[in-house]
Amino acid sequence: MINAIQVNNLKKSYGNHIVLNNVDFCVQKGEIFALLGVNGAGKTTTLECIEGLRKYDSGSIKITGKIGIQLQSASLPGHIKAMEAVRLFAKWNNSMIDWTMLDALGINELAKKQYYQLSTGQKRRLHLALALTRNPDILFLDEPTAGLDVEGRISLHEQIRQLKAGGKTILLASHDMAEVEDLCDRIAILNKGKIAFIGTIEQLNKQIGRHYHITIQTDTRTDTYESENIGETLLPLLVQYQEKEATILDIKIDRGSLEQHFMKITR
């Protein structure tokens, strides 16, 4: 596979505080890759170094292709119209306006609306359109669906999938683990300035182990159990409840999620 982004031995400190300590990972061309980490893990600093927004102390970053960046927020003037912003970015990047892309993102419908009049979801779509103005090969998405309602999230997820289908490489930063599971080919988890895991979610499941969470609700209480084998755990539990003559009202079994695995690693 061809690497769109290659990061080697990346180091960054703020004074005596080491934020990134020999960070290594690659993003393959055409994949959706997620960079995960709790607050303070170094996720934002890593992204800013790759994007060229922050200097790093040592190491190397190699990017193959043009980049586009969708930030969580933008410093657009409140009274600029959506289409004025698109034309401005197109002129800065010396690029043609992609009307098909704007139509797909619903920007044409917002053309005459001023920035301050846009909802959170509409601003997210405009930020994405601006990031795509120069037809980048690599797209950086920072919390792309934060603040969106369910309909807005579903719509933006579909647009992200279409971008991937069109050959874009996408580096995603998100705190939404369901979103990451739904969209991403591979993930990297940053913990205390180092890569604690990199690979597919299935590889993470094998490394951590698939834990099952069993919740049993009776007429008097609700109990929760963890297990790696449902059959070996659930049947003896049911016998115990039967012996106690407890009335079971509901049984719920959840498979270990990415969020649970993430918490195990970052702890």
Cα 177 from Cα 85, distance rounded (Å): 32
- The two structure tokens encoding residue 11: 């180091």
| pTM assigned to the model | 0.77
Q: What is the pLDDT of residues 154-211, one digit of tens each?
A: 888 888 999 999 999 999 988 778 888 889 999 999 988 899 899 998 888 777 665 6
CA R_g for the chain: 23
Tell which residue, 43, 53, 76, 41, has the closest CA to residue 171: 43
Q: What is the pLDDT of residues 217-267, one digit of tens each?
A: 998 999 988 887 777 888 889 999 999 888 999 998 876 666 666 666 666
Tell which residue, 64, 56, 48, 62, has the closest CA to residue 22: 56
Give the C-alpha distances (Å, rounded to integers) separating 193 from 46, 129, 184: 9, 32, 22
Residue length of the chain: 267
Q: What are phi and psi of 260, to 5 degrees?
A: -65, -40
